[in-house]
Amino acid sequence: MVVKAEGIGLKRNGKWILKDINWEINRGEHWVLYGLNGAGKSALLNMICAYYHPTVGKMTVLDKEFGASELGANLRKRIGLVSSRLQQNLYVSDSAYEIILSGAYASIGLYETPTDEVRAKAIRLLRELGCYEYADRAYSSLSQGEKQRVLIARALMLDPELVILDEPATGLDFLAREQLLETIQTLAQMEAAPTIIYVTHHLEEILPVFSSTLLLKEGTVFAKGKTEEIMTSSSLSEYFSFPVDVIWSNGRPLLAKHVTQ
């Protein structure tokens, strides 16, 4: 079991941010966490990463039960997180290669001399994720899509058991988004790939490899299960309280306003 949430709730400043969340993720599964802004996605991610503890309920991540096991930094080293918050903290003058190397030490910046083994691993990830051609360029000079690939490679340096991709395609144009999604598809299909949680509020980003979805609305679970069974016109029309059509093409859903004839 990678994540097991049993009736968890989170109260902050007198307000319930999450309520009655029940969710299980098994090893080898890849999930989409889908929700509109304010749905509680960030709060749930912060809980999985042990930045928050539940107000009520039982939370277990990578076999560590909150309140019964030592958590914090030790748990987070087993989780690869790619988020805009991390990007804001990096030393943008570092090269892409240096950014990736720093992932081996879970540090912002490179303060240790990497071993030959660490360097070889970084180079392998540069090649596998399509970053090799800009390995020596400053992170600040990269496009947003290139930066996201570098962050994914960095997250893989410690061989995490769980990778969380928090809205990685935000701000990308169509071509850059599709190139990034191709990289994520490659990651998910790697031998001994980690479990992946892909967080988004854009339906068209959901790849076929994400066969399960948790649909979050106003801090509660609206639906969960097989993506193809949840991402339907009727389900999402109810979710949005607005008539929509879900069109499936090449194993991916597209969202459109429903037009009556």
State how far the alpha carbon of 189 is from the alpha carbons of 1, 183, 196, in Å.
Answer: 20, 10, 11
Share of the chain above pLDDT 70, in %: 95
pLDDT digits (tens, 9 = 90+) for 198-217: 999 999 999 999 999 999 99
CATH number of the domain within which 14 lies: 3.40.50.300
**Whether residue 108 is found in the same domain as residue 169:** no
Provide the pLDDT for residue 165: 96
Q: Domains in the chain: how many in total?
A: 2
Rounded CA-CA distance 181/174 in Å is 10
Q: Residue 163: name the closest of 3, 51, 40 by CA.
A: 3
Instruction: Report helix angle 174-188 to 144-155, nearest 10.
Output: 10
Question: Under a CB-based contact definition with an 8 Å cutoff, are residues 189 and 209 in contact?
Answer: yes
Residue indicated by tokens 């990289």: 183
Residues 6+ apart with CB under 8 A from 132: 123, 126
Q: pLDDT-based confidence at 108, cuts 50/70/90?
A: low
In the listed set 100, 124, 159, which residue is the last one of a domain according to the structure? 159
Q: Domain of residue 10: give its range.
A: 3-78+160-257
pLDDT digits (tens, 9 = 90+) for 109-132: 666 777 899 999 999 999 988 899
pLDDT digits (tens, 9 = 90+) for 72-86: 678 888 999 898 777
**Whether residue 177 is found in the same domain as residue 111:** no
Amino acid letter, 258: H
**Whether residue 66 is found in the same domain as residue 165:** yes
Q: pLDDT-based confidence at 103, cuts 50/70/90?
A: confident
Residue 85 resides in a domain: no
Question: Under a CB-based contact definition with an 8 Å cutoff, are residues 207 and 42 in contact?
Answer: no
